[in-house]
Amino acid sequence: MRNLRYSLKQAEVLAAAPARWNILTGAARSGKTYVSYDLILDRLVYGGEGDRMLLGRTLQTLERNVLSPMRRRYGVDVVSQTDSKGVVRIGGRAFYTAGAGRRDDAEKLQGLGLVYAYGDEVTTWCPEVFQMLKSRLSCPGACFDGTCNPESPSHWLKADLLDKPGLDVRQWHFTLDDNPFLPPEYVANLKREYTGVFYERYIMGRWVAAEGRVYPMASDDPEYIVMRGPTHALRGAWYISVDYGTANPCSMGLWCVTENGLAVRVSECYFDSRRAGRQKTDQEYYDDLRTLAGGRPIRRVVVDPSAASFIQLIRRNREFPVWGADNNVADGIRVTAGMLAAGRVKIHESCRDALREFTLYRWENGDAPVKENDHAMDDIRYFCKTILDRGHSI
């Protein structure tokens, strides 16, 4: 049932006596989550009586990142399906499951006396949930195992737990090179695809602040992402991404995803009401959307989820399928940066406003981009995260 092949870092984790807080942090695909599955099994015989709990940013991410891989590895006799009450049985022991990404998720921990808790993607949690967890991890000998990718040095997890003196905390730092079982070609591709702050965090596993240009691979060498010449020969699946704005600019991009997975922003519609001296109505923007589509079979329009009235107008017209976009900014920028660096996304030379914004889009202090020159950047992020990253493109 156990995997007897471990990296040196994984073996070190399994051999260590547990602290109250055990945090595996560092690069993506470095082996930290994989070895944490064995930690969960090890904790079945550790500690006394009390409740046990598994938490992730959402129940869906917990299922995808932890429970489904554990079932594939150990079998459903060891890791059961989650029942209607949100309980999963591991090695015969009952574990509650809960999301931790929203403030009201903290209520799900009230009344529990935990002897063990496991956390996936802890840096994506709402801090109020983590604070509640501290008070619930109250049984004698209670401990917590958690995994995360590093974020800004000012992140609450680093400030309130990892760097706080006097706490019973053990931290393991993983880099991508700590996983010797990955194919060398895959590792080389990952190192090419991540740039700037994302290379530091997701390859080297460092807690570094985001600063400078958001997409340096595009602004340092714009020709790297530009497609020139005619586009009429492009064949594939067609999409439109929309960052809706009334007082702020509205940006729409028409995309073709070819059979080999290349995504090309073929053309765009960019309207700045301040520059034009007037605002457009939802109907006028819908007319712009139809013009941009140009009679093509649009598989999906992805729209800023806050643009509720415009989304409803698209649905009422029943001409285009529409989704509210995934608006996780940090994750969306990471995905977009990787796709740009890998050459999976190209911008046609006619999309002048998108190319202009690439050279101006910068990080603010911390992990948030400056809210300027970001309208085409947002619609491109919506497309990359909602369509390409979810595998809906072909």
Nearest to 195 by CA among 343, 37, 357, 82: 343
Sign of CA dihedral 14, 16, 21, 22: negative
**Token reading at 363:** 């990080």
CATH class of 216-388: alpha beta
- The string over 322-333, giving b where at least 16 C-beta atoms fall within 10 Å of a residue's C-beta and e elsewhere, is bbebbeeeeebb
Helix axes 375-383, 329-341, angle to 10 degrees: 80
DSSP codes joined into one string, 263-275: EEEEEEEEE-HHH
| Structure-token match 């903290």, residue found | 106
Amino acid symbol at 281: T
User: Which residues are 241's β-sheet partners?
Assistant: 253, 302
Helix (H, G, I), strand (E, B) or coil at 290: helix
Q: Can you give the pLDDT at residue 394? A: 42
Helix (H, G, I), strand (E, B) or coil at 376: helix
Q: Can you give the pLDDT at residue 133? A: 97
Helix (H, G, I), strand (E, B) or coil at 304: coil
Q: How far apart are CA 355 and CA 359, in angstroms?
A: 7
Nearest to 129 by CA among 164, 137, 208: 137
| Structure-token match 């049932």, residue found | 1
Q: Can you give the pLDDT at residue 132? A: 96
Strands 250-257 and 237-243: antiparallel
Q: How far apart are CA 216 and CA 285, in angstroms?
A: 32
Residues written for the chain: 394
pLDDT digits (tens, 9 = 90+) for 86-112: 999 999 999 999 999 999 999 999 999
Angle at 288 between CA 282 and CA 292, to 5 degrees: 145
Contacts of 124 (CB under 8 A, 6+ apart): 57, 101, 148
Q: Can you give the pLDDT at residue 4? A: 64
Which CATH entry fits the domain spanning 8-182: 3.30.360.10, 3.40.1380.20, 3.30.70.980, 3.40.50.300? 3.40.50.300
Helix (H, G, I), strand (E, B) or coil at 159: helix
Residue 354 and residue 347 in contact, taking contact as beta carbons nearer than 8 Å = yes
Q: Can you give the pLDDT at residue 360? A: 92
Q: Where are the domains of the chain?
A: 8-182, 216-388
- pTM value? 0.77
| Structure-token match 């991890």, residue found | 137
Helix (H, G, I), strand (E, B) or coil at 52: strand
Positions in the chain short of pLDDT 70: 1-4, 47, 219-222, 365-366, 392-394
